[in-house]
Structure 1
Amino acid sequence: MGLDREWNHLEFTRHEIPAAHRPLEEELSFYNAVKEGNLIYVAENCIRQVFLQSEGMGLLSDNSLQNIRYHFVVTAAMITRYCIDGGMEAEKAYCLSDFYIQKMDKCQSRDGIADLHQSMCYDFTGKMQLLQRHNIFSKHIVRCIDYIYSNIHSRITLKDLAGYLGLSECYLSKLFLEEVGISIHEYIREKKMEKAKNLLKYSDYYIADIANYLSYSSQSHFTQIFEKEVGLSPKKYRDKYYRKSWSGGTDPS
């Protein structure tokens, strides 16, 4: 049976079946709640286990476990795009989505997927809640921050950023300081330190490799900066925090 004939047959057989999907307004309200950082609304939705309710859930697979997997991916994709529209750094949102989808791929039960779905929704909502507390950045600064996040492993200069945005270095530097509250140089250093801390906690990479990955001129230079910013040397930081929260949530800063 060709695709057109198969679709027409399916449409005909379902013609008298009551609406099988939840009202669009209900779904959009949930995505908007995540985008706006409305943790109360999102928590209420999760407590009612709306995600697992078969009534209104589209049939994407005849296999019930596979069906819930597909719906998880759809939710992750929609939340990601709503959060980006709400101001979350695009690359950060996509990485967070990829992280949860990969975790879901290892789940072997509907309840396990539902629990992870709740964690994902709380995580995105919490991050958006924090974002709402800060000033709304201009389009230039949002693009600037997104560029920094996407290229954190490289050596990023003010000249690179100004060229990418089509602005003068002086204007960008002034605008960034006004909106973010710290200089571009300080912001890049903070983000590199956040990435370094994650790599020290959650990976087995040598410190020299981490220094090289983050484009520091040498391991000693990286160690000097890290110790000044964090208060511990990279080795002492790893000894103290290595994988202590390996199974407890995320830290994809």
Structure 2
Amino acid sequence: MGLLQEWFLHETKNSEEEMEHRPQNEEINFYRAVSSGDMDAVRRNCEQNRFTDTEGVGTLSRNPVTNLKYHFVITTAFVTRLCVEAGMEMEQAFRLSDFYILKLDNLYTAQAVSALHDQMVLDFTGKMRLLQKNIGTSKPVTECIDYIYFHIKERITVEDLAAHTGLSPSYLSRLFKKEIGISISDYIREKKIEKAQNLLKFCDYSLIEIATYLSFSSQSHFIQQFKKIVGMTPKKYRDLNYCTVWNTTANKKPDTAAP
């Protein structure tokens, strides 16, 4: 039987059974809630278990768990692209997407897939909510933020950013502080410490390895800056937070820190 004939028979069967998909506006409203940072709406959707509700949803596999995984990938793809359109840095969005889709490999129950879905959409929504605070930044400042995110492991200077944006260091510094509220160096420091927090939570890297990875001048300098921003030493932070978030999937720790 050819594919065309097979499709015709499949379509006829679905018509006879009066199978209908959910109204598209519900799906669109959900994706918009994620990309706009509407945490209440997204959390409400998760609490209602709409992701695992099969009524009005296409069947992509006869295996229920595989079917759910396929829908997870589709949801993640849509969320990723809408978040990029709404202002999320593209590299961050696709890294986040890849991270969550790869987590599917080790999941074998519908409950685990559903839990990861909720974590994924809430993660994207939270990042978009924070991003809304920076909407309205000029192109040079946005380019700086993207550059810092992509090169966070390196030693980044104002001169690097000035060369990247084509502006003078002094003008760029004034513009950045006016729009973001803090200096470029303070922003870079905060972003490096945020990355360090994730590494301390989800990885086994030693303090010296983290300090080197993030291009701090020394381990002592890293500890000093971490304590200044977070209010405690890196060791104490790890003792309090190590692997406390990833409790919805298997016992395996993430291979890399979450972005």
User: What's 2:138 paired with?
Assistant: 138
User: What's 2:71 paired with?
Assistant: 71
Distance in 1 (CA, whole Å) between partners of 2:41 and 2:231 is 39
User: What's 2:251 paired with?
Assistant: none
Report if aligned partners of 1:89, 1:142 keep a CA contact under 8 Å in 2: no
User: What's 2:10 paired with?
Assistant: 14
Specify whether residues 235 and 42 from structure 1 end up closer, same or farther in structure 2 by C-alpha distance, changes over 3 A only.
Answer: closer
User: What's 1:156 paired with?
Assistant: 156
2:183 equivalent to 1:183: yes
Aligned-residue CA RMSD in angstroms?
2.7
Specify whether residues 141 and 58 from structure 1 end up closer, same or farther in structure 2 by C-alpha distance, changes over 3 A only.
Answer: farther
Distance in 1 (CA, whole Å) between partners of 2:70 and 2:108 is 14
Distance in 1 (CA, whole Å) between partners of 2:183 and 2:202 is 29
Instruction: Give the residue type in structure 1 aligned to 2:9.
Output: T
Specify whether residues 222 and 49 from structure 1 end up closer, same or farther in structure 2 by C-alpha distance, changes over 3 A only.
Answer: closer
Deviations 1:115-135 (A, max 9, x none): 221232223223323333454
Distance in 2 (CA, whole Å) between partners of 1:235 and 1:113 is 33
Stretch moving more, 27-36 or 166-175: 166-175
Distance in 1 (CA, whole Å) between partners of 2:169 and 2:217 is 24
Q: Which runs of no fewer than 5 residues in structure 2 stay unpaired? A: 249-253
Instruction: Give the residue type in structure 2 aligned to 1:10.
Output: E
Distance in 2 (CA, whole Å) between partners of 1:160 and 1:133 is 25
User: What's 2:95 paired with?
Assistant: 95
User: What's 1:241 paired with?
Assistant: 240
Shift of 1:176: 1.2
Distance in 2 (CA, whole Å) between partners of 1:111 and 1:230 is 35
Specify whether residues 228 and 133 from structure 1 end up closer, same or farther in structure 2 by C-alpha distance, changes over 3 A only.
Answer: closer
Secondary structure, aligned partner of 1:50: coil
Shift of 1:191: 0.8
Specify whether residues 40 and 93 from structure 1 end up closer, same or farther in structure 2 by C-alpha distance, changes over 3 A only.
Answer: same
Alignment of 1:187-226 (within 5 A): 187-226=187-226
User: What's 1:30 paired with?
Assistant: 30
Instruction: Give the residue type in structure 2 aligned to 1:147.
Output: Y
Instruction: Give the residue type in structure 1 aligned to 2:230.
Output: V
Instruction: Give the residue type in structure 1 aligned to 2:138.
Output: S
Instruction: Give the residue type in structure 2 aligned to 1:174.
Output: R
Distance in 1 (CA, whole Å) between partners of 2:54 and 2:230 is 49
Specify whether residues 20 and 142 from structure 1 end up closer, same or farther in structure 2 by C-alpha distance, changes over 3 A only.
Answer: farther
Q: Give the total of aligned pairs.
A: 248
Secondary structure, aligned partner of 2:216: coil
Distance in 2 (CA, whole Å) between partners of 1:235 and 1:15 is 60
Shift of 1:202: 2.6
Distance in 1 (CA, whole Å) between partners of 2:40 and 2:210 is 39
Distance in 2 (CA, whole Å) between partners of 1:60 and 1:52 is 14
Distance in 2 (CA, whole Å) between partners of 1:60 and 1:20 is 15
Q: Which runs of no fewer than 5 residues in structure 1 stay unpaired? A: none
Distance in 2 (CA, whole Å) between partners of 1:156 and 1:222 is 15
Secondary structure, aligned partner of 2:77: helix
Percent identity over the alignment is 49
Q: What TM-score results when the alignment is normalised by the length of structure 1?
A: 0.84
Specify whether residues 64 and 215 from structure 1 end up closer, same or farther in structure 2 by C-alpha distance, changes over 3 A only.
Answer: same
Secondary structure, aligned partner of 1:14: helix
Instruction: Give the residue type in structure 2 aligned to 1:12.
Output: F
Distance in 1 (CA, whole Å) between partners of 2:122 and 2:48 is 14
Distance in 2 (CA, whole Å) between partners of 1:138 and 1:210 is 32
Distance in 2 (CA, whole Å) between partners of 1:115 and 1:209 is 32
